């Protein structure tokens, strides 16, 4: 089973291709490049590096968010179009899962944190389990100070991971029980997407391309700014 993974929930864009035996090839963009301009050449690159053709792909996996509105829209649209063209199913994986999975080798509680801008973060908590991670809270969007208060109230040793943790480092570093993960884990991983999607594909947890939808958690910035202007 050959899986193509497309990840574009944050400022970094990534693609990977692999099987149950591991990732064959992966790529990610430099910070600041536009999502739409990055994805097509990245898909072509990983396919060529893996020594396969796009027609060999049997599942398309995509990061469904939460994350940046434009990035999610571009990633999901690309995944749906690719799956339609290849007539293959889609597996959707949440961005916060993709942050937690690579740092699962810890005894600490894991809190994945993505910068949501506008002074907020997307977040969810996890525990390491054999073979992966288990989400213990529903994804939410809150100011960093509110998430900090939740962590303090929990009273557990906690590993926070993601660009939201780095953006608001001073908030989380003020808690003695908190460790902030290395910046190398700041963005969701397309390689982790392929690994997690393979496990779900084996369980046949597919969706049709027309059923996949981004998880935004809040309205886009442009709509929020328009609404604020109307209320003035």
**pLDDT tens digits, residue range 12-62?**
899 999 999 999 999 998 655 566 778 989 999 999 999 999 999 999 999
d(CA 4, CA 79): 9
Q: What is the dihedral of CA 177, 137, 143, 167, to 10 degrees?
A: 60
Could you give the 3-state DSSP secondary structure of residue 64?
A: coil
| Overall size of the chain counted in residues | 232
In this prediction the pTM is 0.90
Determine the Cα–Cα distance for residues 123 and 59; give it in Å rounded to an integer: 27
Summary mean pLDDT of the chain: 91
Whether residue 221 is predicted with pLDDT greater than 60 in this model: the reply is no
At 11, the pLDDT band (50, 70, 90 cuts) reads: confident
List the one residue out of 182, 229, 200, 63 whose CA is nearest residue 131.
200
- Which residues are CB-contacts of 232 (< 8 A; sequence separation ≥ 6)? none
Residue 161 near residue 103, CB atoms below 8 Å? yes
More confident residue, 208 or 50: 50
Alpha helices in 64-179 (DSSP H): 69-86, 95-100, 144-154, 163-167, 169-173
Mean pLDDT of 71-93: 95
User: What is the separation of C-alpha 217 from the centre of its chain, rounded to a whole number of angstroms?
Assistant: 14
Spatial distance between the Cα atoms of 218 and 192, rounded to a whole number of angstroms? 25
Q: What percent of the chain is helix, strand and coil (3-state, nearest 5)? A: 40, 25, 30
pLDDT higher at 160 or 229: 160
Q: Does the pLDDT at position 224 exceed 70?
A: no
Q: How far apart are CA 65 and CA 63, in angstroms?
A: 6
Which residue ranges does the chain devote to CATH 3.30.420.40? 3-94+188-231, 96-185
The average pLDDT across 62-80 equals 94
For the chain, give the percent of residues with pLDDT over 70: 92
- Can you give the pLDDT at residue 29? 84
Q: Can you give the pLDDT at residue 38?
A: 82
Instruction: Name the band, by pLDDT with cuts 50, 70 and 90, for residue 210.
Output: confident
Q: What is the mean pLDDT of residues 114-127?
A: 96
Cα 9 to Cα 193: distance, rounded to the nearest angstrom: 12
pLDDT confidence band for 222 (50 / 70 / 90) = very low
3-94+188-231: CATH topology is: Nucleotidyltransferase; domain 5 (3.30.420)
Strand arrangement of the beta sheet that strand 3-7 belongs to:
22-28, 14-19, 3-7, 59-63, 90-93
Q: What are residue 169's DSSP bridge partners?
A: none
Q: What is the CATH number of domain 96-185?
A: 3.30.420.40
Percent of the chain with pLDDT over 90: 83
Q: Which secondary structure element, helix H or strand E, spans residue 140, and what is its range?
A: strand 140-142
């Amino acid at each position: 089973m050959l899986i193509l993974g497309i990840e574009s929930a944050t400022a970094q864009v990534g693609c990977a291709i692999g099987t149950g035996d591991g990732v064959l090839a992966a790529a990610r963009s430099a910070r600041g490049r536009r999502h739409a301009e990055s994805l097509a050449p990245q898909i072509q690159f990983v396919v060529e590096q893996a020594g396969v053709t796009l027609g060999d792909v049997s599942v398309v996996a995509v990061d469904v968010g939460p994350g940046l509105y434009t990035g999610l829209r571009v990633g999901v649209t690309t995944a749906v179009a690719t799956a339609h063209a290849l007539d293959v199913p889609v597996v959707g994986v949440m961005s916060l899962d993709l942050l937690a999975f690579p740092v699962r080798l810890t005894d600490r509680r894991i809190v994945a944190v993505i910068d949501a801008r506008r002074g907020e973060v997307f977040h969810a908590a996890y525990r390491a389990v054999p073979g992966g991670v288990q989400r213990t809270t529903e994804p939410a969007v809150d100011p960093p100070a509110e998430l900090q208060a939740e962590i303090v109230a929990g009273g557990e040793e906690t590993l926070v991971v993601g660009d939201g943790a780095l953006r608001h480092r001073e908030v989380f570093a003020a808690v003695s029980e908190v460790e902030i993960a290395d910046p190398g884990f700041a963005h969701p991983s397309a390689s982790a997407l392929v690994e997690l999607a393979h496990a779900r594909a084996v369980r046949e947890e597919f969706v049709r391309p027309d059923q996949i939808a981004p998880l935004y958690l809040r309205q886009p910035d442009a709509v929020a700014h328009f609404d604020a202007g109307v209320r003035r």
